Amino acid sequence: MKYIAIVLVLALVGCTEDQAAPVKDLSYQELKALPLDCEFSERQLTVLKDLQRMKNFDPDPDMLSEPLRKYNAMLKAKIWWYAVRCAKS
């Protein structure tokens, strides 16, 4: 009975915990291939901003190696694309 109660408690705790999906690390090619669509801007921006937070690049592009600079540029360009193209009038 005790074991059942423990299992039930653990199961309930598991259900109520914040189940935030882990941030998926993307290669440059995967990032580049991400589609841009204003209709899904909220969801896509979350993915991109989570990725940006995870990467934590130096804000000064001159401090980054060439591949990282390229990756950072692609990431920021995609994030700003939504502000430029999807602004609600």
Of 59, 56, 85, 68, the closest CA to residue 31 belongs to: 68
Question: What is the spatial distance between Cα 86 and Cα 89, in angstroms, rounded to a whole number?
Answer: 9
Under rule CB under 8 A, how many of the chain's residues touch other proteins? 13
Q: Which is nearer to other proteins, 10 or 73 (CB)?
A: 73
Question: What is the spatial distance between Cα 37 and Cα 40, in angstroms, rounded to a whole number?
Answer: 6
Position 55 contacts other proteins (CB under 8 A): no
Which residue from 4, 18, 60, 65 is in contact with other proteins, where contact means CB under 8 A?
60
Q: List residues binding other proteins (CB under 8 A).
A: 59-62, 69, 72-73, 76-77, 80, 83-84, 87
